């Protein structure tokens, strides 16, 4: 299978697993971020389902479960060149397409390559929104985005999409920023 086809299949699988986990899980009591807040902060951290020394417990928004976050941030907002929010076909949630700097893509590729089968927590404004299982190394090419499914109700998704577009303006509005350029 070609590299591009594998990455597209991985994006679809991650998004589908996040949406399925959200749809089948009970509601939780994680605090809701202010979806209208700008700028939006985004972090990716390794996570596990069991407590261990040095790990930080965090509720997963809307899922009624707790994960345990590694203290090291794998990707933060400073590693992100651009984010585009795309509505899902089922009408709930968002798909965030994320383009990273070269340094951010390299760090994410290294971390996810070493942790296949483990979980990667997606934090938006410090709230854990999704915890997909790492299927393969992510971030192979900083010129291509990777997708993250964010399970939200329609109104929340619309508010977050508006805030994302203000934080990371669409490519035409941010033409001075080149994908893959920059550093931490």
Q: Report whether 17 contacts 133 (CB < 8 A).
A: yes
Query: Largest Cα–Cα distance in the chain?
Result: 46
- Ranges of each domain in the chain: 3-167
From its phi and psi, is residue 132 left (phi > 0), alpha (psi between -120 and 50) or beta?
beta
For residue 25, what pLDDT is reported? Answer: 39
For residue 1, what pLDDT is reported? Answer: 59
For residue 93, what pLDDT is reported? Answer: 86
Q: What's the whole-number average pLDDT of the chain? A: 81
Q: Report whether 67 contacts 55 (CB < 8 A).
A: no
What are 42's strand-pairing partners? 124
Omega cis (within 30) before 39: yes
For residue 51, what pLDDT is reported? Answer: 97
For residue 123, what pLDDT is reported? Answer: 96
The CATH-assigned architecture of domain 3-167 is: 2-Layer Sandwich (3.30)
Give the tens place of pLDDT for each residue, 2-19: 666 556 555 554 544 444
Q: In which band, very low, low, confident or very high, does the pLDDT at 23 lie, cut at 50, 70 and 90? A: very low
Give the tens place of pLDDT for each residue, 99-135: 999 999 999 999 999 999 999 999 999 999 999 999 9
């Amino acid at each position: 299978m070609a590299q591009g086809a594998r990455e597209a299949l991985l994006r679809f699988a991650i998004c589908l697993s996040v949406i399925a986990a959200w749809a089948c899980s009970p509601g939780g009591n994680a605090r809701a971020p202010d979806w209208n807040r700008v700028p939006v902060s985004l972090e990716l951290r390794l996570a596990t389902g069991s407590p261990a020394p040095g790990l930080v417990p965090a509720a997963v928004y809307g899922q009624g479960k707790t994960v345990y976050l590694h203290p090291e941030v794998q990707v933060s907002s400073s590693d992100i060149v651009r984010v585009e929010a795309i509505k899902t076909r089922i009408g709930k949630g968002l798909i965030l397409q994320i383009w990273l700097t070269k340094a951010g893509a390299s760090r994410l590729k290294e971390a996810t390559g070493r942790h296949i089968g483990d979980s990667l927590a997606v934090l938006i404004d410090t709230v854990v929104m999704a915890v997909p299982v790492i299927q393969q190394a992510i971030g192979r090419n900083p010129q291509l985005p990777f997708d993250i499914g964010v399970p939200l109700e329609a109104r929340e998704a619309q508010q977050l999409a508006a805030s994302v577009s203000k934080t990371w303006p669409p490519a035409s509005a941010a033409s001075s920023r080149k994908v893959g350029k920059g550093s931490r």
